[in-house]
Structure 1
């Protein structure tokens, strides 16, 4: 009987030795986990289940596998191996972060898809495409470059950004003219002072090339559009049109400097500079964070309307109060009710130019209350816009997954 028990202990010891030898130690950001290698081998397509893949993270000096990942999420990954096929997301973990960890550990893509469909409902983002192949290629290249295979999509995006930045160089040369160029134009026109679009030779060439490229791009986008309403309701197309027309007028005026009625045009040129400055907004086509910021502001129009109403009410209230209180002071620089409104506005916005300021103690006390009120009034809508912007940033991957392309006419 004792011999039999002794033999069972020997067999058990052998099994325990094999299990001990089969164990591996995993360090996740300093937190240690121990698991049987055999349990990992049940999922050979995952990062931990494939010995060759996980060998890249092996530390021979301490005989452990080191990963700089999220420890709480790894507990769910470990649960997936210990309870085959069962995947659970910790309630305190954001869905986007959990999904990124699933991709790193190379968990079964089909299971990840099921998890996403159950945990998050994708948004519908249907993008229309032209029926003709050549129009479809042009439309996707100009409108959805991210849908083109790497590296062509990134190359197109980089060229567009580079062209936009390059187009700002002539604009800078116009608003910062040199003294020599001013003197030359003064001699040509016979005037004592002139403010006019001045192009150095390189800037002139860059301006022509950029405007020519913008015109071709806009024309191709109009020709390849599946339906014209996509062009009509896209604000960026109108910005491109404004940029092209304003720059074309400036280029034409550059060659008309010897015309007698040029002075009538100079006052209008300053407005053209404002229109030409819109070219920097072309970057919003390829900067997703900037587009999300505009979208967050658009989603907060009700809150911003409330802000405008609140600021207007406080401006009228405190402006009138400060004017009435401070007007009796002989040293007061609040000459009329409009000065009171202006003082209240710059106090609410915490600007404080100093051109108008209260002199009496009572008026300063009212201005102090006005400043505190402005901090409270402006803080709430700003927080709402930031919250919506953060939400859009977190759900960016979700919007990307929900994109569907559909052929339209």
Structure 2
């Protein structure tokens, strides 16, 4: 054995206790069949977490296999492990949904402030605190109407199914009202040659269904108001306003049903077609207990800022290019842009790629301007929304310090 080998062996003997301690400090963690090996001292840096506290993680220890078993998400655990190895650095895997990621963070007892920071970034609230009335009878009514899913099976399905069945049945008279014979009442009167005709909104069975439906919706709305723990829960719920619109529009139509004199019918028909739009709102009551539709409404509400930004961009370019097209095309004798409003309309249908063809440029210069009008909107809108989002992030990171 030469001198170099002897020195290496001497160094290895000297390091043997350290290697032994290193081996003893290792722990094995099994996550849904995937094994991880980590140093215990790395975990102890965060003693308030599940893995960092030996007393907390002892409940998951498997004596036979000499490891800790957890039936959790493996990809998320890799981020958790990265948090221990790089103290305080936490990254959410892009393929993992935020709700699943936050649920895992809470299971591993990570820093609550860190979790809240991720929640704010993704704008997905985790805590859903539902306020209930103090009185028991009001609490039962409020949970039945507002939170039927809180009941045990099969009562929750029974309540939700009854609610949807009533909503669907209430739509039957509305479907009968849009039959062409209703909108063609005046033509029918002229063909028959009569001066007076009954208002054919409903046949008798549909008339009874309409009365029962409006009565049920009215009772339900009143019970919500009576049992609500706080008045803002009623005022800030858009479905309550939909119920109010349904009640008012249905009641007005029922009163119109009894106007048999043709003179009143003619006056009522001009207003009745607008009531049909309001009566169609009863279809949206299905969204009260349908999660997918509620998420769709929430997505629309969250996109209002972007939609407003798009509308402002379209209006800006419509005025700019509409004025330019009108100036360039107005000199043509066969021009379609007779005034500046026609120029605005031409720019609008070009920007939105509708292209009705009712107005179109005649001169070569106006055609070039119309072609350019459809190009920058999308690119500028994308960059504009990016700047808006960066502004929100910058505002959240602003801190104020008092000058010494």
- Give the TM interval when normalised to the shorter protein: 0.5 to 0.7
How far apart, in 2, do the equivalents of 1:276 and 1:27 lie?
A: 53
Q: 1:237 to 1:356 in 2, by over 3 A?
A: same
Alignment of 1:9-408 (within 5 A): 72=75, 91-92=92-93, 94=96, 95-98=98-101, 112=107, 114-115=109-110, 117=112, 120-121=115-116, 123-178=126-181, 182=185, 190-191=194-195, 198-258=201-261, 260-376=263-379
Gaps of 5+ in 1: 1-25, 49-69, 80-87, 103-109, 387-409
Residues 346 and 359 of structure 2 are in contact (CA less than 8 Å); yes or no, is this contact kept in structure 1? Answer: yes
How far apart, in 2, do the equivalents of 1:128 and 1:256 lie?
A: 46
CA drift of 1:299 comes to 4.2
Counterpart in 2 of 1:82?
Answer: none
What are the Cα deviations for residues 386-409 of structure 1, in whole angstroms up to 9, with x where unaligned? 9xxxxxxxxxxxxxxxxxxxxxxx
How far apart, in 1, do the equivalents of 2:129 and 2:101 lie?
A: 26
Residues 79 and 93 of structure 2 are in contact (CA less than 8 Å); yes or no, is this contact kept in structure 1? Answer: no
How far apart, in 1, do the equivalents of 2:386 and 2:159 lie?
A: 36
CA drift of 1:321 comes to 0.7
How far apart, in 1, do the equivalents of 2:289 and 2:77 lie?
A: 35
CA drift of 1:290 comes to 3.6
SS at structure 2 position matched to 1:129: coil
Residues 168 and 283 of structure 2 are in contact (CA less than 8 Å); yes or no, is this contact kept in structure 1? Answer: yes
Aligned length: 323
How far apart, in 2, do the equivalents of 1:113 and 1:126 lie?
A: 22
CA drift of 1:223 comes to 1.4
What are the Cα deviations for residues 38-67 of structure 1, in whole angstroms up to 9, with x where unaligned? 6558668x669xxxxxxxxxxxxxxxxxxx
Residues 311 and 377 of structure 1 are in contact (CA less than 8 Å); yes or no, is this contact kept in structure 2? Answer: no
CA drift of 1:334 comes to 1.3
How far apart, in 1, do the equivalents of 2:384 and 2:344 lie?
A: 22
CA drift of 1:34 comes to 11
CA drift of 1:217 comes to 0.8
What are the Cα deviations for residues 76-96 of structure 1, in whole angstroms up to 9, with x where unaligned? 89x9xxxxxxxx987426353
Q: 1:261 to 1:179 in 2, by over 3 A?
A: closer
Q: 1:72 to 1:128 in 2, by over 3 A?
A: closer
CA drift of 1:245 comes to 0.9
How far apart, in 2, do the equivalents of 1:287 and 1:214 lie?
A: 18
Between the two structures, name the one with larger relative contact order (CA 8 Å, sep ≥ 6): 1
SS at structure 2 position matched to 1:220: helix
Residues 189 and 258 of structure 1 are in contact (CA less than 8 Å); yes or no, is this contact kept in structure 2? Answer: no
CA drift of 1:113 comes to 6.1
Q: What is the TM-score normalised by the length of structure 2?
A: 0.65
Residues 300 and 385 of structure 1 are in contact (CA less than 8 Å); yes or no, is this contact kept in structure 2? Answer: no
SS at structure 1 position matched to 2:130: strand
CA drift of 1:344 comes to 0.8
Q: What is the TM-score normalised by the length of structure 1?
A: 0.64
